[in-house]
Structure 1
Amino acid sequence: MPGVAKSKACANCKKKRIRCDQRWPTCSPCSRSSTVCPGPSSTLKFIQHLAPSSDGIPGGKRKTPVSSKAAHPFAVMVDRGHLSPYNNGKAVHGSFRLQVPRFKSTTTVDRVSAQLVHLLEIKERTGLELPSYLKFVPERLSHSACLADSVALFYLTWHQASRGQSQAKVLESRTYGRALKSLQRAVNSQAVYTVETLTAMVILLGLTVHYKPFTLIDYRPHTVAIRHVMRQLGAPQLESSLHIGLIQSTEGLIGGHFESPWKETNEILQSQSGNSERREGEKEVEEFARASLEGIMAIFRPYLSNILPRVLKIWKDPIAMRESQESVVQDILEVRGPIETARKDVWEACSSPGFMVELPEPTFFLGHKITFTSTTIANYVLSLTMMNISVLAVLYDVQNLYGTENKPARAEYQGLCLQIWKCLPYLETLDSATSTRLLKSVASVFEHATDEEIGSILSTNLEWSNLGAKSKTDREGFRTEVVRISNLWYSRGSGRPEQVYYTLRPAHK
């Protein structure tokens, strides 16, 4: 078979008739399209020049015996195509397929490691932001079963995303249950105070925050556990790339609830890199905002556990709960006062020195934007603002349900929602994990947006798929998910107030 090149292009590239660069185990065209590359092609074309026939049988019709075994023990012929005449019967051409050996993972760790390496190579095609520390994980998978299971769950999430399927379904999968059980076994063993277990905890919390509706009490036990493990581990090892990679991720995940035990190390690294120069007084403002939020949480948690269940009963049976309405309203008003005072104090403390600034932004549909000098300050400001928005919305709902429209509460609610909207350009500057978490926390502020405003909101460079929008134009999916989260936040149950869509934009817009 001289003179005929053997094509090693993968089957996908052959089928699409495109050039395969044969960069195994995944060629570039398959990598760009996020498809599984089958590897080197096992189909070889050949042309066999025939000698003059001595028996009178035309060369193209002669039955040439073909052995099913090749000289190489792994190159086994498993199929042969039809032989056809070529060059006026002087030769025949056809093809045969060889069984090409492929690498097979022998252990779960091998399989998960290969998946993670594949994911890191083609992350730009997934639309899913990958934590920076993941590239330091493969070599540690064999040391921790819970880390391997959590990484497998992360890969499943990417797998769903790359195929346009619902990523949130991973939280209903067996892989998610396996990861939780594996982490539980690690926590109950001597392996709890290891960086591998900490990484698994951070991955699971990140996925949960990413896909589950945001509530202030859902994640507290998990964040407390992460902080505890970090404290027991002590200061992160600066020579460990995985430790360094975890610093920023844990800061973003637990920063809204507690001060990270590794915060000082993070500040040292930032000062060394010169990427984050802290302005004078910024640390003091952060401390004041954190103390204010912790103080308000002491009031807000009883509100969540005591008042909101009574609100839910009102929605389920307004007639039977009519006599309780006044006491519920009074309890809401008692909570609202301190929350509003704390919000105003923090806003003033952040705005005066310029750590929170409203600026003109002609490219944004509102014409203005609010920006922050640090994500920590943004966390505190948004958290306190959302607490106030939640209380105002519940107060208006309950009073409106019994025929009393509280217009001042509605106007204040609208004004605070508008302030949150103006923060969208700032969220565009954050990493995907942080911006998605903050978007989840403020989702209810989009409940009464008009269709035109939703279109403008979805056009921003943010990941809206986790709020129901399958595309930049999926207004209905977005609205449905936002209303669902709002009903959860405001304890409406299956009930739903009359939907009024009003514009929050300034009059001149």
Structure 2
Amino acid sequence: MPGVTRSKACQCCKRRKIKCDENWPTCSPCKRTKRECPGPSTVVKFVHDAQAHSTSDSDQDSCSSEITAVGPNTVSLHMRKIVHRQGGSYSSFRIRSTTPRISTRPKLTTLSDRIAARLVSHLDRSQEYGITLRLGYLPFLPQRIPHSACLRDCVALFCAAWSNYRGRWQAGRVVTMSNYSKALRTLRNTLRGDQALSVETLAAMTLLERTEALFDWGQERCSAVHAHGIGHLITKKGYVDMNDELDIELAKENRGLLLGYWATECGKSFAGDAKIIDAPEANIDGGEFWGIDELKPYLESALSITGGSYGSWTQWLQDAEGIQQDPFGSEMLDRATSLRPQLSHAAAETKQCLESLMESTLDLGTLTKEDDPDSASGKSYGFKTAALAQLFNGLLMLRLVSLRISYDLSVIYGSPDTELYSEYQEVCGNAWMCISYLRKLDISVSAAFLGPYSACIEASSEKEMDSLQSIIKTMDSYLDRDLVGTEDPAHTTLESENIYAFQSLGIE
């Protein structure tokens, strides 16, 4: 039988099984751990003798009840004290809130509700602004999830892959995740049903492609397979519903992917389908997105140029490829004659827009030119927002490609235009000045901006190539990609990211 308690150590020290110095009112261990010391423990132990007592009305135990406020918080202590007739007593209490508990949101009872809440949580806590920069349709998905099982499962996959990316968990490829196979099964079943041509199904297919592109780095991607499926669905579905914001955002997202795919994989068979994905340009009134209200006139001009280029982009590439294969055929000579003025007009228009945009942004301080010892020119650009950087890079690339195709045509027909090549090198120099800004962005954002730089490699200096390879190696290290045996990591990454060259013109 245990003896009488003699230690007055506080209950915190007793629970932790450490020595209490009994330095009241706060003992030293509690003071070090910043705990509220409960004070000395009692050494008195009440023992009931278990003797029988009469239960007459005069001998009934007395009972009192009271409510005692505890602390400044909205919590009260409901105390109940019972006193026996021979002097013994005991007490019981229950802590309760003084105010009713009010839920701030409805209870999530369905799987769709929980997945939608998870997506909203990711968007609210997201610091990787660039990830959502190309995914303007994400805010419209939570309310559409209950209407589509395939969209629900694709969003669940996206959230799981995003969590793995944030935590840098070694979870393997996206295609090996259990969510991936489930998303494919529900998507297959949906495509066989009545919802095959719905906007929600298109959103699920688009999000599935983006999930692989963003979070499955270093692996052989299935961009062409995804693009073929998305293009087929869009062709069957028809034109964009201008009253549906989700449909409009999906058209903006898929435009770059499909134009690149149609130009490189499908030849002329899909050239006329580009009009199907015509949609309004980005909302330039959204100051929160651009962060620069004073630039609205310049943004209108820039977005008009980049948006209008989509109608000609695919045809330019097809004509250039045909001319290269048979430059002196009668049909190709006619194409070259009509193509040259189009390219010259695009280059001149883009140059004027870029100069106006640079002048205004430099004056406002939203674009800065800083000293950079790591840059080949000793200078680098800094942007206020990633959206402005995307627009700037898109315009640079449009001018770069039009100049490059024009110069190649002059070489093919035996009269190399050195002035065009000098202008091309100048544009490449401006593009390389953005490299330092890319280093400051999230890895996935930096990768999205790499596409246009594949057209700059020929005009790059050794220092510029070192800067580009440094970024790529940093990305590879962060994403744990194995480049052992790869002769040129820059070539490998840029080749895998070539599709972004088309998407960089899309200012979502």
TM-score, normalised with respect to structure 1 = 0.50
Which structure exhibits the higher relative contact order, with contacts defined as CA atoms closer than 8 Å and separated by 6 or more residues?
Answer: 2
Query: Which one has a bigger Cα radius of gyration?
Result: 2
TM-score scaled by structure 2?
A: 0.50
